[in-house]
Amino acid sequence: MSGLLTAEQFRKALPPQVKKSVNQELIDKVNQTISDPAFREVYRDNLLGYANVMSKGKFKIQSYLDAVRYVSYKLLGDSNIVAYTKTFPDKYQDFITRGVDSKDIASYVTAYNKSKLVNLIYEQSLVPSWVLNQDLYQKALNVQAELMITAQSEKVRTDAANSILTHLKMPETQKVELEVGMKEDSTIQALRESTAELVRQQRLMMQSGAMDAQEVAHTKLAIEGEFREVGNE
């Protein structure tokens, strides 16, 4: 069946202090608990992806399995109560059998939703998968690089090279348009008027022969304005 979790996968993902808690019986239970193949794959990936939260507290491995299952249902759009019911069907049925009030059940569910382990997993779910799996990304690139250099097949070498080029290509240059709004005050208006007047005078002087083009090019523009020091007011 697709999406099955293996003991080796799980041990590699978990921090050292909890690896010993993983045995084949536990793995079989995980794989047999989920009947929906699509959700089984999601659940497996989340179990492997969020495993580092186990290093942030003293959590039981079963508590982690339950919390990831609950959060997985939540991430797929289920409400708190629905996710809790799917994760703990026996507990929910016990509530119903004992006649526990719906408000009390909701309180239990809310408390679980706010628990430390569940919220640590929520936090992990917000981290992009490429960040969580940077080590695997680098290993994959290393494999492609080795194939590109050592593979006997030209096609394999070419495919590996293309894969590396695709994943390591430089980001495309994006045109950044900066729109600057400048308030036109009396100083800007004075500059415009002074420039227009200077151009008019230079044109007349060139026409009369009083100035040549080189002299015009070196003409300095004098702008009268008010100087005021700021910052010490």
Based on the domain organization, do 83 and 157 belong to the same domain? no
Measured distance CA(202)–CA(210) in Å, rounded: 9
Nearest of 2, 21, 1 to residue 10 by alpha carbon:
21
Based on the domain organization, do 138 and 123 belong to the same domain? no
Domain boundary among 102, 127, 152: 127
Based on the domain organization, do 84 and 162 belong to the same domain? no
Based on the domain organization, do 40 and 150 belong to the same domain? no
pLDDT at position 108: 95
Based on the domain organization, do 92 and 40 belong to the same domain? yes
Decide if 1 is inside a domain.
Answer: no
SS3 content of the chain, % helix, strand, coil (to 5): 70, 0, 30
pLDDT at position 224: 53
Amino acid making up residue 90: D
Decide if 115 is inside a domain.
Answer: yes
Decide if 141 is inside a domain.
Answer: yes
Chain Cα centroid distance, residue 88: 31
Q: Are 59 and 65 spatial neighbours (Cβ–Cβ below 8 Å)? A: no
Decide if 156 is inside a domain.
Answer: yes
Nearest of 88, 55, 74, 86 to residue 118 by alpha carbon:
74
Q: Are 51 and 124 spatial neighbours (Cβ–Cβ below 8 Å)? A: no
pLDDT at position 233: 47
Higher pLDDT, 194 or 141: 141
> How many domains is the chain built from?
3
**pTM of whole model > 0.75?**
no
Based on the domain organization, do 109 and 205 belong to the same domain? no
Decide if 175 is inside a domain.
Answer: no
Based on the domain organization, do 161 and 142 belong to the same domain? yes
Based on the domain organization, do 15 and 90 belong to the same domain? yes
Decide if 226 is inside a domain.
Answer: no
pLDDT tens by residue, 196-221: 777 777 677 766 666 665 665 666 55
Based on the domain organization, do 31 and 143 belong to the same domain? no
pLDDT tens by residue, 77-92: 999 999 999 999 999 9
Based on the domain organization, do 65 and 147 belong to the same domain? no
Looking at residue 53, the DSSP 8-state letter turns out to be G
> What angle is formed at CA 175 by the lines to CA 174 and CA 177, rounded to 5 degrees?
140
Measured distance CA(122)–CA(71) in Å, rounded: 7
pLDDT tens by residue, 113-158: 999 999 999 988 875 555 445 566 677 888 888 888 998 898 888 9
pLDDT tens by residue, 33-90: 888 888 988 999 999 989 989 989 889 999 999 999 999 999 999 999 999 999 999 9
Domain that holds residue 49: 7-127
Based on the domain organization, do 155 and 96 belong to the same domain? no
